[in-house]
Amino acid sequence: MSRTPLLRTALVGGTPVAWRVADPAAALAAAERTPDGLSFLQIDHVVAAKAKRAQGEPHTGTANSVTVVDGPLDREAMAAALTLFSRRHDELRAVYDVDESGPFRRVAPAESIEYVTDADETPVEADHAIEYIVDRIASEAVFDAMPGLAYGAIDGGDRFAFYTGSDHSHTDGFSQFAGHLEIARLYRAIRDGQDPQTETAGRYTDYIAEEKAIAAATDPADPRVAAWRTILAVHGGRVPRFPFDLGLADDELAPAVPVKQRLLSATELDACDARRGDTSFAGVLYAALAAAQYELLGSEHYFTATVLSTRTPEHALTQGWLCNFVPISFDVTEGIPFDDLTRVAGEAVVRARGLATLPVHVALGLLAADGSYIPDPGSPQMVSYIDFRRVPGSDDPVLQKVTAFQAVGRTRNANMWVTRYHDELTVTSHLPDNPTAREAFGKYLETVRHLLAEFAAGADTLVSAPAEVVSS
């Protein structure tokens, strides 16, 4: 099993540099409990992480990113930038634990956080840089540590690899990209002797309070709950699972391995945009995922979970986990033109965006109570889609080279992280590390890529099930 991510940009070798909080014990002692506790996603995460620790399993609940920065590293300027960055965002000063009442959250005062430089003079070769980074993140970015974050660099002299590692409780995909940009801008200003200019960022503490207020005010007759009920009714009241054979027994979790593939080039993406009309590109993507599943398995209902941002304008720059899981569900019929399926899928994406305003835990809690949802202790099959071009500052050289990655643990699915960059569309997945999973997923992904390429080329594709399914 490989624990290391597939990089978008090759890293550099050199001297490892870490930035650490000067007095974490004092910061932890000064941290105060917040009244509304944790967000729903954080509760799930902390409870699961605590249970894994009790069973002696390794810590894999991290979300991380690495980039390469041109120019010599000013270590003290970076320390000052990280200090200011952490003081601006309350979630970067939060720590979590569990007592008899359940998970709780504490936040250290801004003034208790000061980052200092800690260099190791033992050089790291470029080929082993990512292994070094992953090892450090796994040991330090932990939910009950102060801080549950790891910032560092590999100093190559004329350029350096800069990385951030976080226990997932503190971050999401957008926060990782936005954080890299903010740190880079703070660093460049301080390095150049300028006054850092920053925009107001909302507190994650307030986001948690707002989420809890929504939960308290939700009526069981809410139309969003009804929409969830309708979707689950089609799928036996259960969350989605990857429908292909992954070489696992029922509910078996297996060590995962990351795989990555390019789906479309920039030219093909432009051609898709020219053809799709009012349908979102996300609609085109989900149509290809559904059509490939239909062509290989004859599945008449496509069903997956996706994660959507729940950021309001007040929380546009907030560091934290501001997301919600929602279903993407729609029917596929024999012989439907792929063009038409993109519109069906696009409508499903619009419905999902409407459902994202209601925390999934609220919807499923209400539906479990009336028997419409059968609780599942495992994670659902998930497809995450990020259009990197929409990230503020995506043209910044630091962001252009960012690889965002999750720690590789155990899985029963084939979760996919699809990213549209300026120059390509890629997909990364964590697969069970066995030949059956690799063969099934490889065939599926190749069919997806073929359907997308045909759409880009202007083909009038009709979606058809396998012959044995059609004739049965």
The pLDDT tens digits for 9-48 are 899 999 999 999 999 999 999 999 999 999 999 999 999 9
* 278 and 392 inside one domain: yes
CATH number of the domain at 441, please: 3.30.559.30
Amino acid 407: pLDDT: 85
What is the tens place of the pLDDT at every residue in 443-460? 999 999 999 999 999 999
Tens-place pLDDT, residues 275-320: 999 999 999 999 999 999 999 999 999 999 999 999 999 999 999 9
Quick one: residue 367, left, alpha or beta (phi over 0 = left, psi -120 to 50 = alpha)?
Answer: alpha
CA angle 131, 399, 4 (to 5 degrees): 15
pLDDT of residue 465: 83
- Answer whether residue 406 shows pLDDT above 90: no
* 230 and 258 both lie in a single domain: yes
Q: What does pLDDT average to over the chain?
A: 94
Residue 1, pLDDT score: 39
Summarize the confidence of residues 230-234 as an average pLDDT. Answer: 96
Q: How far apart are CA 345 and CA 331, in angstroms?
A: 9
Answer yes or no: do 373 and 236 share one domain: yes
Distances in whole angstroms, Cα of residue 6 to Cα of each of 70, 153, 169, 257? 21, 18, 23, 10
What does the pLDDT read at residue 3?
Answer: 59
**Which residues span the domain enclosing 422?**
219-471
| DSSP structure string for 3-72 | -S---SS----BEEEEEEES-HHHHHHH-EE-TT---HHHHHHHHHHHHHHHTTPPP--EEEEEEEEES-
- How far, CA to CA in Å, does 247 sit from each of 105, 315, 410, 432? 39, 42, 14, 8
- Residue-wise pLDDT for 104-161, tens only, equals 999 999 999 999 999 887 899 999 999 999 999 999 999 999 999 999 999 999 999 9
pLDDT of residue 247: 95
> Does some domain include residue 214?
no
Phi/psi of residue 51, each to 5°? -65, -40
CA-CA-CA-CA torsion for 303, 305, 306, 308, nearest 10 degrees? 120
Q: What percent of the chain has pLDDT over 70?
A: 98
Total number of domains constituting the chain = 2
Render pLDDT for 330-370 as a digit per residue (tens, 0 to 9): 999 999 999 999 999 999 999 999 999 999 999 999 999 99
State residue 251's pLDDT score. Answer: 80
The tokens describing 151, both together, are: 């910032």
Q: List the CATH number of the domain containing 28.
A: 3.30.559.10
Using a pLDDT cut of 90, give the percent of the chain over it. Answer: 90
